[in-house]
Amino acid sequence: MADLSLEDIEFIKILAKSDSTILQASMNKATRYKLDVHIGMILREYYRENTMKTKTGWVEKFEKIGITEDEGKAAIACARRLGIDIS
Look at residue 37 and tell me if it is in a domain: yes
- What's the total number of domains in the chain? 1
Look at residue 87 and tell me if it is in a domain: no
Look at residue 58 and tell me if it is in a domain: yes
Q: What angle do CA 60, 72, 37 make, to 5 degrees?
A: 95
pLDDT at residue 56, as a whole number: 83
Look at residue 1 and tell me if it is in a domain: no
CA distance 24 to 41: 19
Look at residue 43 and tell me if it is in a domain: yes
Look at residue 49 and tell me if it is in a domain: yes
Condensed to tens digits (0 to 9), the pLDDT of residues 16-71 reads: 999 888 888 888 999 889 998 899 999 999 999 989 988 888 999 999 999 999 99
Domain ranges, residue 46: 6-81
Look at residue 30 and tell me if it is in a domain: yes
